[in-house]
Amino acid sequence: MKYRSCWMIENFQLNFNGRIDTGGKCLTLCCTESIAGVPGVPFHDTARETVGALRRERAECVAESMKQSISSAPDIPPLPAKGRCAGCANFGLGDWNGGDGLIHYVNLSMYPAPCQCKCVYCSLRDDNELRVFKKRLHARYYEKLFDTLDYAKNEKLIAPDARWQVSSGEISIHPYRERIFDLVKDQAVDFYTNCFRFDERIAEILAKNPRSRINLSIDAGTPDTWREVKGVDNFDAVTDNLVKYYARSAGPGQITLKYIVLPGVNANLDDYLSVIEIMKVLQVKHLTISRDTATKYALDAERRDDLIGAAAYLAAMLTKNGLAFDLYPAYTPDEREKIAALGGNCCNRGQCDRGR
């Protein structure tokens, strides 16, 4: 049926996203948008009530969209989306089917949680209230989180092939590090880590499960740019840890990299060339090209053109070097089209030859 939805809702994502200690909507169906109506629920008194509320939220979200679509005349496009997901660029008209009702992605991206990075694009970089875990204040909320996951697993609401993502602060220094590792050790899991430390348990999980991966938002190819983006001068230590993880992995593809394009900061030939060389050393065949999501709807036309051009140039250089890429969902459909067109033209004119 043709109605408005997105792949996150259709595949039933369970995101513990943002603060879990305020009584707000900390369980959401998506994690890429900062929209007022983001579909989600707060913790309830029991795990059963919490999971039930989220399942109802998802069903109502789909039904709401279906109703809007059905109410439109067959030969007239549906009206712009209303309700929970209004204003989201990823919420689009398509031939959706509502999914199978099982959770296919679990994202542990909850705060308060510690991180040593001070990335220039991070909204939490100067927020010590969210970067410091205080057991007296925060432990009971983490217990609610674990109870919710235990209930969902015991009721077989999480699909056997579901992917898990661990990106809460920095997992290698998280106060619930061991408990989180025990929770995901037999799952296909993506660890979003800053690689400041080599973690033996992450290495063990990579070696045991070829479907598990680590992801580093590398965002730089040189020490100077890394220091400017990350706020820490440890580029060589991080790349050394990447090599160690690669040596312990079960096979190719378990080291994944993301590059948040920041025009005027890391969008230059030297950084692009160096990242490509790092990818070759680690046998990383694919790079996710992302952007600063905080500015998604705030860029003026000139800055948007700069971003599109910088992303297109990186994409073209990757292609010239036989490497694949994808664009993070934060890029709008219109931006994706422009990046594809610019990247092709760039390569056709030979502007990427220095990256070969």
d(CA 131, CA 145): 18
Task: Say which range, 65-74, 104-113, 303-312, has the weakest mean pLDDT.
Answer: 65-74
**Predicted confidence (pLDDT) per residue in 315-350, tens digit:** 999 999 999 999 988 898 899 999 999 876 665 544
Cis-peptide into 74, omega within 30 deg: no
**Predicted confidence (pLDDT) per residue in 145-161, tens digit:** 999 999 999 999 999 99
Q: Given this model, what pLDDT does residue 345 score?
A: 65
Which residue reads 């899991």 in tokens? 189
**Predicted confidence (pLDDT) per residue in 217-271, tens digit:** 999 999 999 999 999 999 999 999 999 999 999 988 999 999 999 999 999 999 9
User: Using an 8 Å Cβ cutoff, are 19 and 26 in contact?
Assistant: yes
Give 293's DSSP letter.
Answer: G
**pLDDT tier at 353, thresholds 50, 70, 90:** very low
Of 13, 7, 110, 104, the closest CA to residue 57 belongs to: 13
**pLDDT tier at 352, thresholds 50, 70, 90:** low
Task: Say which range, 8-12, 21-25, 35-39, has the weakest mean pLDDT.
Answer: 35-39
d(CA 306, CA 304): 5
Segment 282-302 mean pLDDT: 89
Task: Please determine, for residue 73, whether its predicted confidence score (pLDDT) is greater than 80.
Answer: no
d(CA 186, CA 88): 34
Tally of CA atoms within 13 A in the half-sphere of 50 that contains its CB: 26
| DSSP three-state, residue 211 | coil
Segment 49-73 mean pLDDT: 84
Contacts of 33 (CB under 8 A, 6+ apart): 88, 89, 90
Q: Which residues pair with 166 in a beta bridge?
A: 108, 191
Report the share of the chain in percent with pLDDT over 90. Answer: 70
Task: Please determine, for residue 79, whether its predicted confidence score (pLDDT) is greater than 70.
Answer: no
Q: Given this model, what pLDDT does residue 350 score?
A: 47
Residues in the chain: 356
Tokens of 293: 């999501």
Tokens of 171: 């997992």
Which residue reads 């909507």 in tokens? 25
**pLDDT tier at 354, thresholds 50, 70, 90:** very low
Where in the chain are the domains? 1-192, 224-356
Segment 164-189 mean pLDDT: 95
- For the CA atoms of 238, 239, 240, 242, the dihedral, rounded to the nearest 10 degrees, stands at 90
Q: Given this model, what pLDDT does residue 265 score?
A: 96
Q: What are the strands, taking DSSP E only, across 69-173?
A: 92-95, 103-111, 158-166
**pLDDT tier at 71, thresholds 50, 70, 90:** low
Q: Which residues pair with 255 in a beta bridge?
A: 214
The average confidence (pLDDT) of the chain is 89
d(CA 257, CA 245): 13
pTM: 0.87
Helices H / strands E in the chain, number of each = 11, 12
**pLDDT tier at 81, thresholds 50, 70, 90:** low
Tokens of 303: 């800055």
d(CA 50, CA 221): 43
User: Using an 8 Å Cβ cutoff, are 61 and 29 in contact?
Assistant: yes
**Predicted confidence (pLDDT) per residue in 113-125, tens digit:** 999 999 999 887 7
Task: Please determine, for residue 295, whether its predicted confidence score (pLDDT) is greater than 90.
Answer: no
